[in-house]
A and B are shown apart, each in its own frame.
Chain A
Amino acid sequence: MNDFYIILTASLVAINCALMGSFLVMRKMVMIGDAISHAVLPGIFIAYYISGSTASLPILIGAAFSGILATLLIEWFTKKARLQSDAAIGVSYTLLFAIGIVLISKFGANADLDQQCVLYGEIEYVILWLKPVFGAFMLPQQTIILLAVCILLVVAVIIGYKGLFITTFDPNFALSTGIAVGFWHYFLMSGVSLTTVVSFESVGAILVIAFLSGPPAIAYLLTEDFKKMLLLACIVGIFCSATGYYAAKWLDVSIAGSISTVIGIAFTLVFIFTSVIKRKAVVIST
Chain B
Amino acid sequence: MSANTIIEAHNLTVLYGRKPALWNVDFTLPEKEVIGIMGPNGSGKSTLLKSIMGVVQPTSGFTKVYDQELDTVRDRVSYVPQRQDIDWDFPASVWDVVSMGRFQKRGLFKKLTTEDKDIISESLEKANMLGFAKRQISQLSGGQQQRVFLARAIAQQGDLFLMDEPFAGVDIATEEMIVSLLKEMKDEGKTLVIVHHDLHTAQSYFDHLVLLNTRLVACGPTKDVFTDKFLTDTYGGKLTTIAKISQELENKEFPIRHK
Contacts and interface: CB of A to CB of B under 8 A. Distances in A.
A binds B: yes
Interface of A: 26, 82, 159-160, 162-163, 165-166, 169-170, 172-173, 175-179, 220, 223-226, 228-229
B108 A176 contact: no
Nearest to A223: B91
A175 B55 contact: yes
A160 B86 CA distance: 21
Contacts of A170: 81, 85-86, 100
Chain B interface: which size bin? Answer: 20 to 34
Contacts of B54: 175-176, 178
Given A162-B108, A226-B92, A172 B50 contact: yes
B81 A229 contact: no
A26 B96 CA distance: 16
B156 interface: yes
B28 to A, nearest CB: 21
Given A82-B17, A172-B55, A178 B74 contact: yes
Contacts of B17: 82
Interface in B50-109: 50, 53-55, 71, 74, 77, 79, 81, 85-87, 90-93, 96-97, 100, 103-104, 108-109
Contacts of B74: 177-178
Nearest to A163: B108
The 6 closest A-B pairs by CB, nearest first: A176-B79, A224-B136, A176-B53, A177-B104, A163-B108, A162-B108
Contacts of B53: 175-176
A162 B96 CA distance: 10
A225 B136 CA distance: 8
B177 to A, nearest CB: 22
B91 A179 contact: no
Given A179-B108, A224-B138, A173 B100 contact: yes
16 contacts: A160-B108, A162-B109, A169-B100, A170-B85, A170-B100, A172-B50, A173-B81, A176-B53, A177-B79, A177-B103, A178-B54, A223-B91, A224-B92, A225-B92, A226-B96, A228-B91
A82 B17 CA distance: 8
B100 A225 contact: no
Contact of B91 (A159, A162, A178, A220): A220
B91 A166 contact: no
Contacts of A224: 91-93, 136, 138
A26 B90 CA distance: 7
Interface string B128-170: 0000000010100000000000001000100000000000000
Contacts of A166: 100, 103, 108
B139 to A, nearest CB: 8
A170 B84 CA distance: 11
A22 B92 CA distance: 13
Given A166-B100, A225-B92, 8 more contacts: A26-B91, A162-B103, A173-B79, A176-B77, A176-B81, A179-B103, A225-B93, A226-B96
